[in-house]
Every structure is written in C-alpha cells, then in structure tokens.
Amino acid sequence: AQKITQTQPGMFVQEKEAVTLDCTYDTSDPSYGLFWYKQPSSGEMIFLIYQGSYDQQNATEGRYSLNFQKARKSANLVISASQLGDSAMYFCAMRSNRGSNYKLTFGKGTLLTVNP
Amino acid sequence: KAGVTQTPRYLIKTRGQQVTLSCSPISGHRSVSWYQQTPGQGLQFLFEYFSETQRNKGNFPGRFSGRQFSNSRSEMNVSTLELGDSALYLCASSLSRDRAYGYTFGSGTRLTVV
C-alpha cells in the first residue's frame, strides 16, 4: 500500500521568501511518480510539478522545485520568492508506475499562508 | 484550450435521494478519474475510466457508480444519499494512461446532503 505523509498542517512565510513544504512517502513499488498540487479556496486542484522515481535530476518548474531524496523517501516542494497568490492548500501525491492501478494517493495537505 | 468542466458546481440534496455529477475532460483526454474530498478523510480515489471502461475502483460502497461515454465525458452517480456523502467531488482527466502524464483537475462539485 502507498502512503503519503505531510507533517505540516500549516505554514507561514513572508512574501518574497522561500518556503519548503515537507512530504514523505512509503511504497514498495520500484517505479512510481510523485506529484504536487495546489488547491486555492476555489477548490480546483492545480498541478505544480512531477518527479519520477527513476528521474536522475530533481524536477523544477519555474518557482517550484522538488527536493527528491529517494533513500529517505522524501519529496519536498520548494517555492522560491513566495507571492501572495501562493496562499493555498498544497497536496503531495503519488502513483504507482507499475501495473494497472493509476490512482493518486494524496497526503492530508499543508495550508500555506503568505504574509505581506 | 478549455479545461476540465464539472457540473454543477454546487448541489444540495436530501438524504435518501440520488445525484448525478458530470465531468467533461479536456478535449482529446481519454482517462477520467473521480475523487472525493472531505475534511475528515481527505482526498480519496473513487474510480477511473479509460475508453468507456472502468479500469480501477476505490474502496467505496456500491451506491457510488460511474460511467464514461464515447466522447470521454463521464458521470458519477450516488444513490440513496447519506449525510456522510457531503463532499467536494473532483474529476481529473489525463491524455492517456501513460505514466509520464499528469492529471488536470476540474473545479469540483460541492455536494451537500441535508
């Protein structure tokens, strides 16, 4: 079974500063994918970044980067230069890349508040 | 390009009734998945459809069902509604079942059962 743990229920950061949101995972699958999603109060889940378990380099997408430490089973999201619009819930998720079950398993989320 | 469209956005139903939610994926996307989001249980996988076939099902009672049409649009149905079915129901579409592709979510349907 897959499990995602996000230990920070809430985080605060000053505008323009960087912030790291923690995510650890557990799986017995050798091949898997890790995702981060942002959910503003409107409810829509916005895809931010993806990391495959066999990817050699850490994923980056603009101000988002994923600090992937496979041995420690962690996939932390780093947001650089925070903006007020970054205030939202952030979810870490994973999916097995083996077999036929493509469901996403989500963590409980971290509520990020960016202060001016 | 249009995103994933879910209708209706909000719904209020009475216990015991049934409800049908609709999801129109991004044009060309053939995989549609459904998730339930509640404050207590978080985000939980309901089912996935690909080319009109249910490929995977989550751990939900038989009251929850779905289908996918030939144009990839999907519907989910909940019969005999219970108070605990109150949730945000999210639909996600993907271009294919290829592992490299991410999922694009809609804005969800917020269902309230009274």
B28-73: pLDDT as tens digits: 888 999 999 999 999 999 999 998 999 889 999 999 999 999 999 9
Is B42–A37 a contact, with Cβ atoms under 8 angstroms apart? no
Residue B103's pLDDT band, with cuts at 50, 70 and 90, is: confident
Average predicted confidence (pLDDT) for chain A: 94
Close Cβ partners of B89 (under 8 Å, ≥ 6 residues apart): B6, B21, B34, B35, B36, B37, B46, B76, B108, B109, B110, B111
Type of residue numbered B78: V
A26: which 2 tokens?
Answer: 């557990």
The SS3 assignment for A85 reads helix
The SS3 assignment for B14 reads coil
pLDDT of residue B12: 98
Over its C-alpha atoms, chain B yields an Rg (Å, rounded) of 13
Is pLDDT at B99 greater than 60 in this prediction? no
Residues 41-70 of A with CB under 8 A from B: 42-47, 50, 52
The SS3 assignment for A84 reads helix
